A and B are shown apart, each in its own frame.
Chain A
């Protein structure tokens, strides 16, 4: 999992954080799902993603 997370961190947190949907939602004071990725997709058991 660490390797996968590192890719997201390097791409969004370290470089394009303003494109991160989690960051944008938090900046607007909105609740952020625990397993929402920076591109806005939410990891769910069913595999259904938004």
Chain B
């Protein structure tokens, strides 16, 4: 049995998921964003409680909003018609997926990886080239840890990862995502070539 599935099986899955996610939920899909929510889970749960306490009826919401508007701007200003209210502002984003839904997706992703590994057989490690370049044991682990930290910091600074910018943003031709993808893919190719050249792998 081959250790890898045909390339197009992954391509179909990776291509369909972010586009379908956008079409159905009107939200950009990004794994690093979902993972990042694990870090702020207490805040996420507090927000979920706030959302649960939201007024159920539109009349009650109107009343609360009118009172808050009058409190902030005064009753006269709040009662004046505003030009901004009539301006169409494009199609809005959908609401963020709930924190439990995000956890469910991450758990399913881990289970999918496990199922694929069980199906494909024993792990191949990081590959021969990695072993030749960095050896094994602590040095290899250190390289992987450093790489993980760089990925985490980079996706936070860039506000997205290879899923968010590379798949979701690029498929929607978002300029920022196209630039981000060109940068991180270019950097990855450059560093890979440099390591290969310096270490003869």
Q: Residues of A with Cβ closer than 8 Å to B?
A: 1-11, 13-14, 29-37, 39, 41-47, 49
Main secondary structure of the interface of A (DSSP, over half): loop
Main secondary structure of the interface of B (DSSP, over half): helix
Residues of B within 8 A of A6 (CB): 81-86
Q: Whole-angstrom distance between the alpha carbons of A39 and B71 in the complex? A: 11
Contact A34 B54 (CB under 8 A): yes
B113 within 8 A of A: no
Contact B53 A44 (CB under 8 A): yes
Contact A2 B85 (CB under 8 A): yes
Q: Residues of B with Cβ closer than 8 Å to A?
A: 33, 36-37, 40, 43-44, 47, 50-51, 53-56, 58, 60-62, 64-66, 68-69, 72-73, 77-86, 95-96, 99, 156, 159
| Minimal Cβ-Cβ distance residue in A for B37 | A31
Residues of A within 8 A of B99 (CB): 31
Contact B83 A34 (CB under 8 A): no
Residues of A within 8 A of B50 (CB): 33-36, 42, 44
Contact A4 B47 (CB under 8 A): no
Cβ-neighbour of A43 out of B65, B77, B81, B83 (below 8 A) = B65
Contact A33 B51 (CB under 8 A): yes
12 more CB-based (< 8 A) A-B contacts, given A29-B159, A31-B99: A4-B78, A7-B73, A8-B72, A29-B156, A31-B43, A34-B50, A34-B54, A35-B54, A42-B50, A43-B64, A43-B65, A44-B53
